[in-house]
Structure 1
Amino acid sequence: MRYAALSGWRAENIAVLLPLLRAQCKRMGQLPPETLLGGSDVLPSGRYAGEWSASCTALQSLTSFDALKGRRFIEKWFRPYLLTDSAEITGYYQPVFQASLTRGGAYKVPLYARPADLTTTTDSKGQQQSGRWVKGVFEPYLDRAHIDHGALAGQGLEIAWLKSSVDRFFLQIQGSGILQLPDGRRVAVAYDGRNGQPYVPLGREMVRDGLLNTGSVSMDSIRAWLEAHPSDAQPYMERNPNYVFFRLEGAASAFGPKGALGVPLMPWRSVAVDRTTLPLGLPLWVQTSLPLQNGSTEHWQHMVLAQDVGTDIRGVGRLDLFTGSGEQSAYVAGHMHASGRIIMLLPRSENVIGAAQ
């Protein structure tokens, strides 16, 4: 297809993505050329780190570019292909929770680091699986219920302490966050592995049990129910056996946490994808709508980069938009469940550079 067919393309300012593109190219340059970035084997390019060398070399020669030069760069070095007209797009953000680096007072809920015996292996389909070896057999790690009831206590894995298990549950859903410490400092915590147990959406469980209506499911409504029913909250959260571990990242930055590609995520410009469908690093043109706090929606069409993965992000056309941190980011991430259109922008090799499409 042609760039002229992309609704809103001429209004896009690719220049804001320059720092992200540079960081991405630097990371890819550190990888062996044969490194598989992901993606379906039917894709003509972009699956291996070496296939990005031409476009990344061209980017290095640019000291800066404005909106027009940015679009021309993408048009020259990337070819657009329609992925789907029926995408399913959600959002995630970097929440802020009150926490302490030491236990005491209201801070009694531990946030755990990755256990030493948690590892990953590759299954027969080439997919990475998390778990541990037990008597020569690889199996999922301890589930949420076992960990919640003290299976990891006393091992020195506590990196911080939160005020509630509900806070911890939502921090694990997002996969990263910011801890607001009693002395005023803000430190970042980043994803550092999961237990390999299946992810069970709590909203789906609540709808099935008649606790929430399908149209009212959001992070806000789920959290409100959990906080209003403290005696039932823990058993419900334990219906999701999936458990995420974290590491301290130091002072919180203006950018987001590092994604699966190893570069910091940019709010509203980084997305999580299914790595079996799309390779990490791939630019995507996304046309969808964002929920607004007044109850309406806003048409949204921008170029984003596939820089992260998610436990519940599976299938062609499944995207999770990183919205950053703050009230608006939390609202969009908690309420976004939109359809949309996705166009892949696949990198060209220097041997096939032609006129912009």
Structure 2
Amino acid sequence: MIKRLAAASLAGLLAASSAQAELSYKILNFQDLDGWAKDDHASALATFRNTCMDMDQPDYAALCALADTIENPRAFFELFFRPVLIEEAGKDAMFTGYFEPELDGSLTQTSRYRYPVYAKPREAQGQWLTREQIETGPTMKGRGLEIAWVDDPVELFFLQIQGSGRIRLPSGAHIRVGYGGNNGHNYRSVGQELIRRGVYQPHQVSAQVIQNWVRRNPVDGAALLRTNPSYVFFRKVTRVSPEQGPLGAMNRSITALRSIAVDPRYTPLGAPVWVEKDGEGPMRRLMIAQDTGSAIKGAQRADIFFGTGDVAGKAAGRLRDPGRMYVLMPIQRAYAALPEEDAL
């Protein structure tokens, strides 16, 4: 039976939402999970182990230590966890995708590589210069703030939206850049601006459509991108090799098609999550909550990490599907979160 309770009643195990939304909270068995027996549990366990040592909660820490000794990954999850369905009243589940862009660039400016990837200036505090002022004004020039130079301003714009990425150098080597701050202005959707102008209908707009339009219309395209006043600065990431996955919110590398971004008010970072994504290309897979995102809000909201590069970007950009997700909680935690009369 589904038990109804306010978000604040989860005994401190799930953080309350600011609106105190009514939640549906249900503990299931693993046989209730569609496709559970067919998944690669060893791959999921390896991804779990990559971040579980950073979880502060004692029960997760104990299971993390046990995970290093386990011989049967599927049995590990079935013995020590329970799947929990957490739903907000009136909010449907939604899965989207994200990826790590890979741009062509150079450590020096050339006629091809002429668009700078900037580090954040010290004085860029609060609401600072707009995107147009940063790109066209003199403030950033000659200060050595360029981490690298890339060959495509459109890909640089979308690198800022993603917040991190890899830059492939002419030698074949890579460097990785991560989010280093912003200029304090709110993001304004250029896709919505194209809809407002009547260029496209809402169902036609995607990242690829925007990129193609800007490239076909370079002058108007540059002006379009500058209608978004928000600007993201970067930092060079050296903690992990560029050949590994990018860093997620837990400051560890994330794994393609095993890591998801979640709302940590409902899903603890580091927790296993069973994903049942419907729509085109249904997905049934155990993933690990290792990242967050400003647009990822809600108990049944997740962003699936697809990997690095153009192929991953195309797959991620098409994804906007319904489904359901179940948080795998340690057994005591799962039952302790029930109202007292239901836990007896």
State whether TM-score is above 0.5: yes
Answer yes or no: is 1:314 the counterpart of 2:297: yes
Q: Deviations over 1:242-288 (max 9, x none)?
A: 32222223585443201110110100111112334433212211111
Whether 1:74 aligns to 2:77 is: yes
The one of 118, 139, 143 aligned to 2:130: 143
Letter in 2 for 1:11: K
Matched, 1:197 2:182: no
TM-score normalized by structure 1?
0.77
| Structure-2 residue corresponding to 1:97 | 103
What secondary structure is seen at the aligned counterpart in 2 of 1:55?
helix
* Aligned residue number for residue 35 of structure 2: 8
Aligned-pair CA distance for 1:303: 1.2
The AA in structure 1 aligned to 2:182 is R
Q: Equivalents in 2 of 1:315, 1:209: separation in Å?
A: 31
Work out the CA distance in 2 between the residues paired with 1:243 and 1:338. Answer: 29
Distance 2:316 2:305 in 1: 8
Identity %: 36
**What is the root-mean-square deviation in Å for CA atoms of aligned residues?**
2.5
Displacement of 1:350: 9.1
Aligned amino acid, residue 58 of structure 1? L
**Structure 2 unaligned spans of 5+:** 1-27, 337-344
Given the alignment, which residue of 294, 317, 320 partners 1:334?
317
> Which one of the candidate residues 47, 57, 68 is aligned to 2:65?
57
Aligned length in residues = 304
Unaligned 5+ segments in structure 1 are 34-48, 119-131, 133-138, 291-296
Q: Which residue, out of 324, 327, 330, partners 1:344?
A: 327
- Equivalent position SS for 2:276: strand
Contact 1:288-1:339 within 8 A present in 2 as well: yes
- Describe the SS at the equivalent of 2:322: strand
1:280–1:350 CA distance, 2 compared to 1 (3 A): closer
Please identify, of 144-153 and 256-265, the stretch whose mean Cα deviation from structure 2 is larger.
144-153
Normalising by the residue count of structure 2, what TM-score does the alignment of the two structures yield? Answer: 0.80
Amino acid in the other structure paired with 2:135: D
CA contact 1:55–1:349 (8 Å) conserved in 2: no
Instruction: For 1:1-357, list aligned pairs within 5 A.
Output: 1-28=28-55, 33=56, 49-62=57-70, 65=71, 69-84=72-87, 86-117=92-123, 132=125, 139-150=126-137, 151-249=139-237, 253-289=242-278, 297-348=280-331
Instruction: Tell me the secondary structure at the aligned position of residue 147 of structure 2.
Output: strand
Distance 1:161 1:225, change over 3 A: same
In structure 2, what residue type is equivalent to 1:23?
N
